Amino acid sequence: MSQAADPMVIFTRTFDFLAWLVPMTNHFPRAQRFTVTQRLLDAALDLREHTEIANLRKGPARLAELRLADEALARVRVYLRLAQQWDWLTAGQYRHAAGMVAEIGRLLGGWIKQTQGM
């Protein structure tokens, strides 16, 4: 099974992303802690939770959770772009985060395609 179709890899990648993101947001402006920062963290945690739930489900229920994970990933992308736009992340930090998110997206897309084919 390729990495893109192996759902277990996504758990490692989402964990690594959260382990990087949570401490990084401590450097975001205090004034935004309960707005944009919280929404970014909520979206990232939702992504992780929906993948965990999807792993426990089968068929249409799994696909529904994977689609919710994909929606959460789209929100993460928006909030990361905003953080970079507002200079809360350096260009290098944004590239790192974008690379992690892109890989998670490929893994998630592969899992969705695999689930749709069942």
Give the residue among 38, 44, 48, 39 at the shortest CA–CA distance from 97. Answer: 44
Residue 57 structural domain: 3-116
Q: Inform me whether the pLDDT recorded for 50 exceeds 90.
A: yes
Q: Over the Cα atoms of the chain, what is R_g?
A: 15
CATH code (residue 76): 1.20.1440.60
**Whole-number pLDDT of residue 6:** 54
Mean pLDDT of the chain: 92
| Total of domains in the chain | 1
Per the CB < 8 A criterion, the answer to whether 68 and 50 are in contact is yes
Percent of the chain with pLDDT strictly greater than 70: 93
